[in-house]
Amino acid sequence: MYAGRGEVGGWGGNCPTADFASSFDARDPRKLFSVIKSGDIFPNVDGKQITHNYTGYDNIANQQSRKAFVPDKYRDGYSLGDIRSNWEPYYIRYADVILMYAEALLKTGGDNGQVANLINEVRHRAFVTTSKKDEEATFRVFDQTLIPIDENYFQTNLAVKSSDDLLKAIKNERRWELGLEGYRFTDLLRWGDYVSVMQAYYAKQPYANKGKLVTDQSWPFPIPQTDIDISNGVLEQNANYK
């Protein structure tokens, strides 16, 4: 958990990229609940309206994570040490389970209609029943394009079909649903997309050198020599590091 910059207090990390923010459908409220943008306004505990400003950091997108941000009313001053809240950590997300199941079905030759239905279970909750309003905020840049969506509109315009590229749909849905929650790295590795995605990111956004050293030799990581020794030769070092 963290606060924002300046008058909203504290420090932030895991900043959402411009590419991540721009990947959302304009009608998807998950963007609202994933990304805070410079210009968003949240009241502090005294009711003063505080405009978020992320300029001045090495953060060219001027964005922070809404998922980790703690509104001022839940904090004592600028401190995160005493959170006045009954929030509790979660250990697994139901949406993650659904999308893992969909991916497993697809990769084992399951029924495409069932796979599409599973993806749509997550999308339906996101587009149809998720609030279009950040109740903690006074103004959010990203709520300007959100519209009410009913069942007919969802099925006609937003539902995934069994004839679609379902692996691509799963990849996208995991990014939008689980973004900034720590799943992305292992997802990219599992899909074999880690190298291409990070190289493309560095080519577009070379600040802070993120992705600069990623090559097709970056994975798998080396096995610790102590583990190889303990295994009495059963474990062999990955070829990249011999």
* CA quadruple 115, 121, 124, 130: dihedral, nearest 10: -140
Domain count, the chain: 1
Give residue 75's domain range. 6-191
| pLDDT, position 226 | 95
Q: What is the model's pLDDT at position 84? A: 59
Which phi-psi region, left, alpha or beta, contains residue 180 (left: φ > 0; alpha: ψ -120 to 50)? left
Q: pLDDT tens for residues 118-128?
A: 999 999 999 99
Question: How much is the pLDDT for 68?
Answer: 82
Q: Residue 115 belongs to a domain with what CATH number?
A: 1.25.40.900
0.75 exceeded by pTM: yes
For residues 50 and 9, is the Cβ–Cβ distance under 8 A? no
Spell out, as residue ranges, where the chain has pLDDT lower than 50.
1, 10
Tokens of 178: 């689980």
Residue 106 is assigned to a structural domain of this protein: yes
* pLDDT at 54 (0 to 100): 79
What distance in Å separates the CA atoms of residue 176 and residue 140, rounded to the nearest whole number?
18
Residue 165 placed within a domain: yes
Q: Is residue 91 part of a domain?
A: yes
Answer yes or no: is 163 within a domain.
yes
Q: Within a domain: residue 221?
A: no
